[in-house]
């Protein structure tokens, strides 16, 4: 229950409780960094103690980057960046600790020194997948993600009613979060499931002056489903995946068909293999698309597939001692050579 109070506070839901706490305790400071003082109530301190737990669930989907805290909000797959990069991060990256994400951007590029540690390389790698400039008229949003089997979206809640949670069990949760998942891949998959990727057609719909057409084929608008499923470029990647994971009865036309295909197997292992492969396809496909859009770097679909193949093999191989993963490699190869 306390976690939901935290959610209310972060999501800035209009309620007396939130207004009172914001004015009494936060004074414009971040909930993640504020320290308790002796006069604070027991309940408030309890909330502060729960912060590490809340962080596991509370993610930020970037809009214009004007409110998301660069160091303390959970807006990248790396978790809190102050934790990932370390306490010297603000000095190293020349971004004060109360910076918002937009402070790290100038025009269409990130303003950050060259990475000097693996942690910073990870961050840079993630930043390349974000389209710049950020859309100016979309606000940053907090999203509540419960990893087990429910996904709770409180965003539309506006009153105390939220305390009786409206639990929507999304039908894709098991496809995004599962044992052995790779955070950077599942993060992308999560955004894709939510249809929140900044594709050209979404950017155009937000009023950004940009052609909505697909950068890969120019024949259709670049929607999530076109880009990741039905574009000819994507189809040739999927074809290779199908050789290893069995072909669906018909080509995917929308996202729900992809989700059905992932589950349409009686074998848990096979379903796991399809999930891993799908995560890799979505991640590598999106990365390549960004490469093309931002760096004009075009590579053939077969090269993208090679990256996916390597990623899938690495994932399986690193987890081969886990129960469900032990024979996945055979599965991924066997079908290929039959
Ligand atoms: Zn296309």
CA distance 313 to 321: 14
The answer to which of 63-67, 100-104, 152-156 has the lowest mean pLDDT is 152-156
Q: Say how many C-beta atoms besides its own lie within 10 A of residue 296's C-beta.
A: 8
What does the pLDDT read at residue 84?
87
pLDDT for 169 equals 44
pLDDT at residue number 246:
84
Given this model, what pLDDT does residue 330 score?
86
Domain boundaries, the chain: 179-337
300-333 b/e (C-beta count within 10 Å ≥ 16 → b): ebeebbebbbebbeebbeebeeeeebeebeebbe
Q: Which pLDDT score, from 0 to 100, does residue 157 have?
A: 37
Check pLDDT > 80 for residue 314: yes
Please tell me the distance from the alpha carbon of residue 225 to that of residue 228, in angstroms, as a whole number: 5
Render pLDDT for 116-143 as a digit per residue (tens, 0 to 9): 888 888 888 788 778 888 888 888 877 7
Integer Cα distance of 297 and 315 in angstroms:
26
The pTM score is 0.54
Whether residue 262 contacts residue 162, with contact meaning beta carbons closer than 8 Å, is answered with no
85: exposed, middle or buried (Cβ count in 10 Å: 0-12, 13-18, 19+): buried
Percentage of the chain exceeding pLDDT 70: 80
Ligand 1 centre distance from Cα of residue 221 (Å): 7
* pLDDT(45) > 80: no
In the chain, the largest separation of any two C-alpha atoms, in whole Å, equals 71
Ligand 1 centroid–CA 124 distance in Å is: 27
Using CA atoms, how far residue 88 sits from 73, 82, 236, in Å, is 17, 8, 45
User: Is residue 310 scored above 90 in pLDDT?
Assistant: yes
Q: How far is the CA of 218 from the centre of ligand 1 (A)?
A: 6
Burial label, 276 (beta-carbon count in 10 A; 0-12, 13-18, 19+):
buried
pLDDT at 19: 61
The string of pLDDT tens digits covering residues 106-117 is 888 888 888 788
Please answer whether residues 203 and 215 qualify as being in contact, where contact means their C-beta atoms are separated by less than 8 angstroms. Answer: no
Distance of CA 5 from the midpoint of ligand 1 (Å): 44
Q: What is the pLDDT of residues 179-233, one digit of tens each?
A: 888 888 888 888 888 787 888 888 887 777 789 999 999 999 999 999 999 999 9
pLDDT at 100 over 70: yes
| Mean pLDDT, residues 168-184 taken together | 75
Average pLDDT, the chain: 80
pLDDT of residue 14: 54
| Spatial separation of the C-alpha atoms in residues 90 and 69, rounded to whole Å | 12
Q: Is the peptide bond before 103 cis (omega within 30 degrees of 0)?
A: no
Tell me how far the alpha carbon of residue 175 lies from the centroid of ligand 1, in angstroms.
25
Q: Are 76 and 126 in contact (CB under 8 A)?
A: yes
Task: Give the pLDDT mean for 305-310.
Answer: 96
Distance from the CA of 307 to the center of ligand 1, in angstroms?
20
How close is the Cα of 241 to the center of ligand 1, in Å? Answer: 18
Q: Work out the average pLDDT over 32-43.
A: 74
pLDDT, tens digit, for every residue of 62-97?
Answer: 889 988 889 988 888 788 898 888 889 999 899 998
Report how far residue 58's alpha carbon sits from residue 69's, in angstroms, rounded to the nearest whole number.
Answer: 13
Distance 179 CA to ligand 1 centre (A): 33
**pLDDT confidence of residue 225:** 96
Ligand 1 centroid distance, CA of 336 (Å): 27
The alpha carbon of 295 and the centre of ligand 1 are apart by a number of angstroms equal to 18
* Packing angle, helices 268-295 and 255-263, rounded to 10: 150
Return d(Cα 204, Cα 79) in angstroms, integer: 30
Ligand 1: distance of its center to the CA of 214 in Å? 5
- Greater model confidence, 101 or 37: 101
Give me ligand 1 centre to Cα 281, in Å: 15
């Amino acid at each position: 229950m306390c976690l939901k109070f935290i959610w209310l506070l972060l999501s800035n839901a209009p309620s007396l409780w939130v207004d009172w706490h914001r004015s009494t305790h936060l004074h414009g400071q971040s909930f993640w960094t504020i320290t308790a003082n002796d006069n604070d109530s027991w309940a408030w301190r309890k909330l502060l103690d729960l912060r590490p737990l809340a962080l596991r669930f509370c993610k930020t989907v970037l809009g214009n980057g004007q409110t998301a805290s660069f160091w303390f909000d959970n807006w990248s797959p790396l978790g809190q960046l102050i934790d990932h990069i370390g306490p010297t991060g603000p000095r190293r990256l020349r971004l004060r600790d109360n910076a918002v994400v937009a402070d790290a951007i100038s025009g269409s590029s990130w303003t950050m020194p060259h990475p000097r540690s693996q942690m910073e390389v990870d961050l840079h790698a993630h930043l390349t997948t974000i389209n710049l400039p950020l859309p100016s008229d979309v606000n940053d949003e907090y999203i509540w993600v419960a990893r087990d089997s429910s996904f709770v979206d409180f965003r539309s809640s506006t009153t105390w009613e939220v305390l009786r949670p409206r639990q929507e069990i999304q039908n894709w949760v098991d496809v995004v979060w599962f044992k052995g998942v790779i955070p950077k891949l599942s993060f992308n998959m999560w955004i894709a499931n939510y249809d929140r990727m900044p594709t050209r057609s979404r950017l155009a719909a937000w009023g950004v002056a940009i052609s909505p057409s697909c950068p890969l084929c120019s024949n259709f608008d670049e929607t999530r489903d076109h880009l990741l499923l039905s574009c000819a470029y994507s189809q040739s990647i999927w074809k290779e995946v199908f050789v290893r994971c069995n072909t669906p009865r018909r080509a995917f036309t929308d996202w729900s068909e992809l989700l059905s295909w992932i589950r349409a197997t009686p074998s848990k292992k096979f379903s796991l293999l399809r999930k891993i492969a799908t995560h890799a396809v979505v991640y590598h496909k999106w990365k390549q698309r960004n490469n093309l859009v931002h760096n004009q770097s075009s590579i053939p679909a077969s090269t993208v597939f090679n990256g996916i193949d390597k990623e899938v093999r690495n994932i399986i191989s690193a987890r081969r001692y886990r129960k469900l993963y032990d024979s996945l490699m055979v599965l991924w190869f066997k079908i290929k050579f039959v």
